[in-house]
Amino acid sequence: MSEPAKPAVSVAILGPGTVGTQVVRLLTEHGDDLAARVGAPIAIAGIYVRDTAKVREGIPASLLTSDAESLIASADVVVELMGGIEPARTLILRALAAGKAVVTANKALLAANGPELFEAADAAGADLYFEAAVAGAIPLVRPVRESLAGDHISRILGIVNGTTNYVLDEMASRGLDYDVALEQAQELGFAEADPTADVEGYDAAAKAAILASLAFHQRVSLDDVYREGISAITSDDVVAARETGQVIKMLAIAERVDGGVTVRVHPALVPLDHPLAGVRGAFNAVFVEADAAGGLMFYGQGAGGLPTASAVLGDIVSVARHRAVGGKGPLESNYAAHDVLPMDAALTRYAVRMSVPDIPGVLSKVAEIFARHNVGIESVRQMAGRGHAGLIIATHRAPEGDLRRTVADLRRTDAVDEVLSILRIEGDQ
Amino acid sequence: MSEPAKPAVSVAILGPGTVGTQVVRLLTEHGDDLAARVGAPIAIAGIYVRDTAKVREGIPASLLTSDAESLIASADVVVELMGGIEPARTLILRALAAGKAVVTANKALLAANGPELFEAADAAGADLYFEAAVAGAIPLVRPVRESLAGDHISRILGIVNGTTNYVLDEMASRGLDYDVALEQAQELGFAEADPTADVEGYDAAAKAAILASLAFHQRVSLDDVYREGISAITSDDVVAARETGQVIKMLAIAERVDGGVTVRVHPALVPLDHPLAGVRGAFNAVFVEADAAGGLMFYGQGAGGLPTASAVLGDIVSVARHRAVGGKGPLESNYAAHDVLPMDAALTRYAVRMSVPDIPGVLSKVAEIFARHNVGIESVRQMAGRGHAGLIIATHRAPEGDLRRTVADLRRTDAVDEVLSILRIEGDQ
């Protein structure tokens, strides 16, 4: 308390959008607390915006600049909240090369160009922090990188997209059809007018790449991630899930398997007693399975200006503290060299729902097809209809490739009218 | 990868019990991974045990010593897993004074003597890490201290004792009586033969003190914590909770209120749609409410040798890394000077369950008593009986002192036969 005052740590904000506006407000309003935590005051060096005429309320005009380069040169810490690949990538590389600490919330950039950025940070010995890019306000980077540093993570299952969780939750809890639930999500602002990035899993895939990189100390890029969206999920799938004690969740999965890791995003059946099953509405949660720690779950708001700003502020405090009183974050230790395997190598369980003719001998033909590809059957559920029956076969764990070949044969045999849906079953311990 | 090999960081283990045995095993088995994460190999300097003849399987005899002082002197990092106050306290103080980094899982010691230990660490400029003392394997220290460093925590609600959560969960899900559920927990090893420390809330109170210290940047000791156990909870309470869409959970609560903070441990009614309501069996979870981040929950195993060892290992990696490649953890920044207020200042909602004579005018007399003490009534639920009725009054938020005075008057009036239970209602947003 009686130490001599340290010089301020100066922070450049690039991009005063929804998150940036909240970051500027919190930096200003919580100045005294932040100074105590950092060990020195934080000063906003300036705020870069491409068009200084188009700026939100609450951003002080005196701090605005359209000269990013001079702003970066004048600051100790650069906070990138512009989104998109360029010019964010170039500006971050320039900042790192100049030895500036960088905080970013840009998941698209990290998923696409993460390796390049981390190498630049390593080469310059500069901090690169990105908590807000993973799951909004939910702290994941420090728990996974530091708290679990002595453990082995075997799997991460994440609900990392609020839009899809909201849509699936409305379908499950209110019996809405997919289209109706999506429309409602759009009206309430939980989904964009063009919902493709969310419902087709592109947003979740970017986060899956970042989560897999964190969990397995490895550089995983968006191209390594298998991706399926939720637009094919029907009310029948939802009802069938409930009747078997499960719920459908859109999951981002990074998993250690023999010979490497798999990283994938798709809707999946989750048992109702799994902690992820209880994640409602637009909330996010990440379930981490580690050899010694067992199952851990991290839950909270994965999006939104204010929650995301909380994560950005936490990173600003960390890197500003390193400037003010010394220290440095854990280096990116990408010493692991697992192969990222193709989707055919993923090992999981499946529920295959079919319509079959209601005649004797069908089940034995169907079972033979599963056996032909070494896919073990765990349970069979048959529902009578008029002339046709509904059949749900739940399998034991099997490689995705074997299941794919099984389904191809199911589609060819006359013992099956139609394969209605194939859902992976995740989350059993 | 091609850097010159750094000298090993030497670690002294004090107390090879359930946790210590696992820590030694993991340090040995994961040696290569740990070396990569630390930036230098970790070597076990020795293992202190009071009686070297009484040692568990898996502990190498060659590393044992009964000379704690020499062991500490020879090590860079001291890992205290003995439990209890002495000699743990003296040995930790000695290690810190000699500039050693210390990792401890000792919640009793931190709750009783935390301020003394943190001051010693500050004075010596030494790391003192204690993740495993808060909630076993669940990462809380880094998320609360670092990820949320730019935010304001308003409240923490934690299920931090597995025994009481198991007992209450069995009462709720299977309709068992308290005694039966406790006996079953003892048979399954979830409760001790003498369950007092768990069921009366002493264990949870120690964790509440540590959580409050973390959340509010303040030194809170065990004496500041209000404590009530679960032994008075009846099946009637559990049924009444379910009928009103709630479940009873044993909570550790640290909350910012006007004029200070309150820290308390007691059973409470939690709405069924709150994430804490879904925490089953012996699992633990901590729900953190912050101004910007909103609600966050951290879930996992709060006890057990292996999960606790995971948290200890994470701390060992952090402090060893600071030794090997520089850096230092965040300082204990106890700059806040909130008052820890007495329980009468706690503000919450209450469900008061009474037996009342089934005659006209009773409700108006009862309502008048609540009004007399400015306790607002939110809902009234009446169940007819023979000659007597059950009455549950749920209140608006009110100071505990006002509620206490209300209940004293309820116990005096002839409009009430008996006050059957008083449960606080927690977790509304």
Long-range contacts of A366-369 (CB under 8 A, 24+ apart): A366/A391, A366/A393, A366/A410, A366/A413, A366/A415, A366/A416, A369/A406, A369/A409, A369/A410, A369/A413, A369/A415
Please tell me the distance from the alpha carbon of residue A29 to that of residue A306, in angstroms, as a whole number.
Answer: 14
Half-sphere exposure of B30 (CA within 13 A, CB side): 25
ipTM computed for the complex: 0.91
What's chain A's Rg over C-alpha atoms? 24
The confidence score (pLDDT) of residue A387 equals 75
The CA-based dihedral angle spanning residues B393, B394, B399, B402, taken in that order and rounded to the nearest 10 degrees: -10
Fold of A346-425: Alpha-Beta Plaits (3.30.70)
Cβ atoms of A371 and A314 closer than 8 Å: no
Quote the tokens at residue B194.
């003498």
Number of C-beta neighbours around residue B414 at 10 A: 9
- CB-closest option in B275, B295, B300 to A278: B275
Q: Please name which of B57, B135, B130, B108 lies closest in space to residue B300, comparing C-alpha atoms.
A: B135
Looking at chain A, the whole-number percentage of residues with pLDDT higher than 70 is 96
pLDDT tens digits for range A26-85: 999 999 989 988 989 999 999 999 877 777 777 888 899 999 999 999 999 999 999 999
Tokens of A339: 């192969």
Enumerate the residues of chain A whose CB falls inside 8 A of the CB of residue B26: 150-151, 292
SS3 B174: helix
**In the predicted structure, residue B391 carries a pLDDT above the cut 70:** yes
C-alpha atoms less than 13 angstroms from C-alpha of A65 in its C-beta half-sphere: 17
Interface test with A, best of B146, B157, B276 (most A CBs within 10 A): B146
Residues of A in Cβ contact (< 8 Å) with B328? 326-327
Q: What is the rounded average pLDDT for all residues in chain A? A: 91
What pLDDT is recorded for position B327? Answer: 66
A354-398 pLDDT per residue, tens: 999 988 889 999 999 999 999 999 999 988 767 788 999 999 999
Buried b (16+ CB within 10 A) or exposed e, A20-30: bbbbbbbbeeb
Q: Which of B37, B313, B327 sits opposite A327 (nearest CB)?
A: B327
* B9-137+305-325, CATH topology level: Rossmann fold (3.40.50)
Q: How far apart are CA B385 and CA B75, in angstroms?
A: 70
> Contact A24/A61 with Cβ under 8 angstroms?
no
H runs (alpha helix) in A326-399: 362-372
Whether the CB of B22 is below 8 Å from some CB of chain A: the reply is yes
Contact (CB, 8 A) for B31 and B13: no
pLDDT reading at A332 higher than 90:
no
Contact: A138, B296; criterion CB under 8 Å: yes
**Span B330-336, mean pLDDT?**
56
Q: Do B293 and A299 touch (CB under 8 A)?
A: no
The β-bridge partners of A391 are A354, A382
Domain range summary for chain B, segments of one domain joined by +:
9-137+305-325, 141-300, 346-425
Catalytic residue among B107, B207, B328, B365: B207
Quickly state the pLDDT bin for B178 (edges 50, 70, 90): very high
* Full-model pTM: 0.92
Q: What is the pLDDT of residues A176-185, one digit of tens each?
A: 999 999 999 9
> Is 50 exceeded by the pLDDT of residue A402?
yes
Residue in B closest to A307 by C-alpha: B293
* B47-95: pLDDT as tens digits: 999 877 777 777 888 899 999 999 999 999 999 999 999 999 999 999 9
pLDDT tens digit sequence for A87-110:
999 999 999 999 999 999 999 999
CA distances from B318 to B4, B146, B147, B329 (A): 21, 14, 16, 8
Contact B150 A325 (CB under 8 A): no
Each residue's pLDDT tens digit, B184-202:
999 998 899 999 999 999 9
Nearest to A333 among B37, B148, B310 (CB): B37
| B 325-344: CB under 8 A from A | 325-331, 333, 335
- Cα(A156)–Cα(A423) distance, rounded to whole angstroms? 18
Structural element, H or E, at residue A187? helix A178-187
Task: Tell how strand B377-384 and strand A294-300 pair up.
Answer: unpaired
CATH 3.30.360.10, applies to A143-300: yes
CB B265 within 8 A of CB B252: yes
In percent, the amount of chain B with pLDDT more than 70 equals 96
Q: What is the dihedral of CA B345, B349, B351, B352, to 10 degrees?
A: 40
**Min CA distance, A423 vs chain B (Å)?**
25
- CATH among 3.40.50.1950, 3.30.360.10, 1.10.3720.10, 1.10.10.10 for B141-300: 3.30.360.10
Cis peptide before A60 (omega within 30 of 0): no
Looking at the complex, report in whole angstroms how far the Cα of residue A35 sits from the nearest Cα belonging to chain B. Answer: 10
Query: Same topology for domains A9-137+305-325 and A346-425, yes or no?
Result: no
Mapping DSSP to helix (H, G, I), strand (E, B) and coil, where does residue A256 land? strand
Q: Mean pLDDT, to the nearest integer, of B421-425?
A: 94
Window 298-327 of A: residues touching B by CB (8 A cutoff) are: 298-301, 304, 306-307, 309-314, 316-318, 321-322, 325-327
Residue B76 · residue B101 · CB < 8 Å: yes
pLDDT at A329 over 70: no
Phi then psi for residue B7, to 5 deg, are: -65, 150
> Is A22 in CB contact (< 8 Å) with chain B?
yes
- Mean pLDDT over B375-392 rounds to 86
Residue A1 has pLDDT above 50, yes or no: no
Which residue among B149, B296, B301 sits closest to A299, beta carbon to beta carbon?
B296
Cα–Cα dist B355/A324, whole Å: 63
When pLDDT is averaged across residues B212-224 and rounded to a whole number, the result is 88
Q: What is the average per-residue pLDDT within B178-188?
A: 95
Distance from CA of A5 to the nearest CA of B (A): 15
pLDDT of A279 above 70: yes
* Residue B147 to residue A142, Cβ atoms within 8 A: yes
Return the closest-CA partner of residue B138 out of A279, A153, A318, A298. A298
Phi, psi angles (nearest 5°) of residue B194: -100, 100
Residues 6+ apart with CB under 8 A from B73: B98
